[in-house]
Structure 1
Amino acid sequence: MTSGDGDRGTGRRGVLRAGAAALLLGAAGCSSGAKSAVAPTSSSPSPSSSPSSTSPEQTTPTLTPTTPTTPTAGTPPPLPAPPLWQPGPGEIQPDVKRRAVELVAALGAWPPGGQGVEAARSRVAALGLPPGLADQAGRLAPVAPEASLEVIDAQYGGILADSASVLVVCRQWTRQSDGSVAAGGITVDVRLSRAAPRWNVTAVNPGDPGPAAASPAPAVAKVLAEPRIELPPEAAADLRSGTVHDTVLAAMLRLAGPYTLSVSVVRTGHPLDVFGTTRPSDHPLGRAFDVWRIDGRAVVDPATPRQLIESFMRDAAAAGSYNVGGPVAIAGSGNQFFTDDTHHDHVHIGFNS
């Protein structure tokens, strides 16, 4: 639990169906401030996801955000009904992530008739959390009669002895007024503090990448079209907004040669400051990206070969990153490589320009 340069902090996929929020009613459920990246200045979804223990061949079809599905023969299509995300092996403080995911499920998924702030407040209260958190849902709770949610990954934005940030990376499906289904997604920075018997959620910060740029850079189109780069909805929207530096795009394309990389966070949804400090993170500036899975193997999974992660981290440095963090301690010049509790579940790749 340390802090350091760049995004060095003191610091999977699962899915929630529309009925997951209702189940929670009966079942229970990277910076020290409440600031999260929304839309600075100067960046698309084709996510593929799996639990931390997922094998490389287990993948999920790509979904394009906000693309409605047309109902057939007057019968509305059902919303996807995925299972609740659970932390896998190798997690540090797994219940912290579970707690964050439960809340995001309660706010972002609901059965028919479960829409609205008051219904969300009831679902949150059923988790033993402050009902007022429902007032912070923002884009996580769009106006819709029904919604379901998939958590692609839950990674630490930061973890300290008494506080944490969990970045809950989601796909979301909402029922439209004509009965069709629209697909999209969001990344939520959930802040927590230690409490007994379970950690308490103190804030919810939904991300917002802003509108797509009128003329995205050619490199953006290349990254979005590259099948070996898996992007969740919010990260893909970051690229389309034109706010991601060329150094990030070039590194993604270079790493996609020898690896398949599953990106979790680029800019939106990440804390503005390195967790536990007042130092700006490279993420909101569009100068960093996180990878939670390499060649279909989750970084957090103890079964993932350490040599694969080390090789990926070294290649990220060779691609120009000045600040590479992950679960493996690597000797290097200066502070180019680092490891800490926050980065036990992903590889951080940052750039200074």
Structure 2
Amino acid sequence: MTGGDGGRWGADRRGVLRAGAAVLLLGAAGCTSGGKQPVAAAGSGVTPAAPTSPTSADTPTATPLPRPALWEPGASEIQPDVKRRAVELVAALGAWPPGGQGLEAARARVAALGLPPALADRAGPLAPAAAEASLEVVVAQYGGILADSASVLVVCRQWTRGPDGSVAEGGTTVDVRLSRAEPRWTVTALNPGVAGPAAASPSPAVARVLAEPRIELPPEAAADLRGGTVHDSALEAMLRLAGPYALSVSVVRTGHPLDVFGTTRPSDHPLGRAFDVWRIDGMAVVDPATPRQLVESFMRDAAAAGSYNVGGPVAIPGAGNRFFTDDTHHDHCHVGFDH
């Protein structure tokens, strides 16, 4: 099963990538809201008021966008530079300073990484029309890792500034495909997730999951739930697991490869029958400091919650075919359902 997390640990318990934001001055000093000094009507005999000195009220300042720090893979990652390469591309496409918007500017940023500029043409929702944008990488997890190819799922939050200076918050999950090359792996394709619209009548379990403080969902995963595309079996398992554990979910449906990476076997994720957890009780699954007994306990409890297919970094002996481990799942736990 594909999917997963790559996570940074240490002082910042979340891996994040931040693009810079700038403070914009809206309006010229000494101007009124209309941009002009008041003028008396001709022949009125009224002397126009003298211009006043500019004040802070005359020169409104745009709210700075968040400035997340650069996400970095930990030392225990399998092929850490593969994830770093994917994150660099997503950062180049999803964040820009004022004046850096537009396809040509994005192509130039991608080319500066030594990657094909045409990748910018596939940015989709990662590059909305906005004067400025900043990006946080919540986590970068493997969708699959083989000897010469990989899928990295880059889970993002994004802030964009509109023409009126307002700030909108969103995010997406990008499936970045890479192949081995020298001196660094190269990106061959990217597929930003596009979640569907909210459902008119989602399952009651959706509201319960969204309201549960012990379940952390990134933007794309939350949109999956609101869209009504996630089976109740997965939702009820999340709620059950949120009793003994605090869960940080990385991927549910949108943004995940359609097939189990390296095979033609359909993944349970696009069917809305699986979710990945990259952090348990605030500790990244990939972090060797995270107790293995905690991860094993979580995996066993996921099976008890109804999952027929539980993957993770821990090999559980004598468990039959219900549990599995491989390189792809060294950085997250996969919880899948067959209905």
TM class by shorter-chain length?
A: 0.7 to 0.9
Amino acid at match of 1:16: R
The separation in 2 between residues aligned to 1:335 and 1:9, in whole angstroms, is 18
Matched, 1:15 2:17: yes
Secondary structure in structure 2 of the residue aligned to 1:95? helix
Matched, 1:320 2:322: no
Alignment counterpart, residue 271 of structure 2, candidates 272, 276, 285: 285
Matched, 1:81 2:67: yes
Aligned residue number for residue 137 of structure 2? 151
The 5 Å alignment of 1:81-120 reads 81-120=67-106
Matched, 1:262 2:243: no
Matched, 1:128 2:114: yes
Q: 1:315-338 CA deviation, whole Å, 9 max, x = no partner?
A: 000000000000000024431000
**Cα 1:208/1:10, change in 2 over 3 Å:** closer
The 5 Å alignment of 1:187-266 reads 187-266=173-252
Contact 1:10–1:276 at 8 Å: present in 2 too? Answer: no
Q: 1:166-195 CA deviation, whole Å, 9 max, x = no partner?
A: 000000000011101111110000000000
Contact 1:300–1:344 at 8 Å: present in 2 too? Answer: yes
Aligned residue number for residue 180 of structure 1? 166
The separation in 2 between residues aligned to 1:261 and 1:130, in whole angstroms, is 37
Which shifted more, 11-20 or 275-284?
Answer: 11-20
The separation in 1 between residues aligned to 2:76 and 2:303, in whole angstroms, is 25
The separation in 1 between residues aligned to 2:4 and 2:110, in whole angstroms, is 28
Amino acid at match of 1:228: R
Amino acid at match of 2:203: A
Contact 1:10–1:160 at 8 Å: present in 2 too? Answer: no
Residue 121 of structure 1: CA displacement? Answer: 0.3
Secondary structure in structure 2 of the residue aligned to 1:252? helix
Mind listing any 5+ residue stretches in structure 2 that lack a counterpart?
A: 8-14, 23-56
TM-score normalised over the length of structure 1: 0.82
Secondary structure in structure 2 of the residue aligned to 1:98? helix
TM-score normalised over the length of structure 2: 0.85
Residue 259 of structure 1: CA displacement? Answer: 0.2
Aligned residue number for residue 44 of structure 1? none
Contact 2:309–2:336 at 8 Å: present in 1 too? Answer: yes
Amino acid at match of 1:283: H
Mind listing any 5+ residue stretches in structure 1 that lack a counterpart?
A: 1-6, 21-70
**Cα 1:273/1:79, change in 2 over 3 Å:** same
The separation in 1 between residues aligned to 2:325 and 2:95, in whole angstroms, is 35
Matched, 1:352 2:338: yes
**Cα 1:233/1:9, change in 2 over 3 Å:** closer
Secondary structure in structure 2 of the residue aligned to 1:15? coil
Residue 15 of structure 1: CA displacement? Answer: 1.9
Secondary structure in structure 1 of the residue aligned to 2:172? strand
Residue 88 of structure 1: CA displacement? Answer: 1.3
Contact 2:4–2:277 at 8 Å: present in 1 too? Answer: no
Number of residues paired by the alignment? Answer: 297
Contact 1:9–1:340 at 8 Å: present in 2 too? Answer: no
Residue 18 of structure 1: CA displacement? Answer: 3.3
Aligned residue number for residue 259 of structure 2? 273
Secondary structure in structure 2 of the residue aligned to 1:349? strand
The separation in 2 between residues aligned to 1:15 and 1:218, in whole angstroms, is 34
Amino acid at match of 2:199: A
Residue 9 of structure 1: CA displacement? Answer: 8.1
The separation in 2 between residues aligned to 1:225 and 1:168, in whole angstroms, is 25
Aligned residue number for residue 327 of structure 2? 341
Question: Rg larger in 1 or in 2?
Answer: 2
Contact 2:229–2:272 at 8 Å: present in 1 too? Answer: yes
Superposition RMSD in Å:
1.8
Aligned residue number for residue 40 of structure 1? none
Contact 1:272–1:280 at 8 Å: present in 2 too? Answer: yes
The separation in 2 between residues aligned to 1:115 and 1:192, in whole angstroms, is 26
Q: 1:233-290 CA deviation, whole Å, 9 max, x = no partner?
A: 0000000000000000000000000000000000000000000000000000000000
Secondary structure in structure 1 of the residue aligned to 2:72? coil
Contact 2:215–2:238 at 8 Å: present in 1 too? Answer: yes
Amino acid at match of 1:269: G
The separation in 1 between residues aligned to 2:201 and 2:59, in whole angstroms, is 39
Secondary structure in structure 1 of the residue aligned to 2:310? strand
Matched, 1:163 2:163: no
